[in-house]
Amino acid sequence: MQQFPTSAKVIYDTLSADTDFMALLGEYRFKSGSGPLAALSVVSAGEDLPSIREVTGVECIIQDAGESVAQNYLTDAPTIVTTWSVFLVAWEPSKGSDLQVAAERMLTRFTGAESIQTVATTDGLGSLVQTKVFIKSNMPIRPL
Residues in Cβ contact with 17 at an 8 Å cutoff, skipping those fewer than 6 apart: 144
DSSP summary character for residue 52 = E
* Percentage above 90 pLDDT, the chain: 69
Distance CA 136, CA 144 (A): 19
* Percentage above 70 pLDDT, the chain: 96
Give the least confident one: 24-28, 87-91, 107-111, 116-120. 116-120
Q: Is the pLDDT of residue 123 over 70?
A: no
Q: Of all helices (H) and strands (E), which one includes residue 67?
A: strand 67-71
Q: Is the pLDDT of residue 95 over 70?
A: yes
SS3 track for 78-95: CEEEEEEEEEEEEECCCC
Q: Is the pLDDT of residue 140 over 80?
A: yes
Q: What average pLDDT does this structure show over 75-92?
A: 91
Q: Is the pLDDT of residue 17 over 90?
A: yes
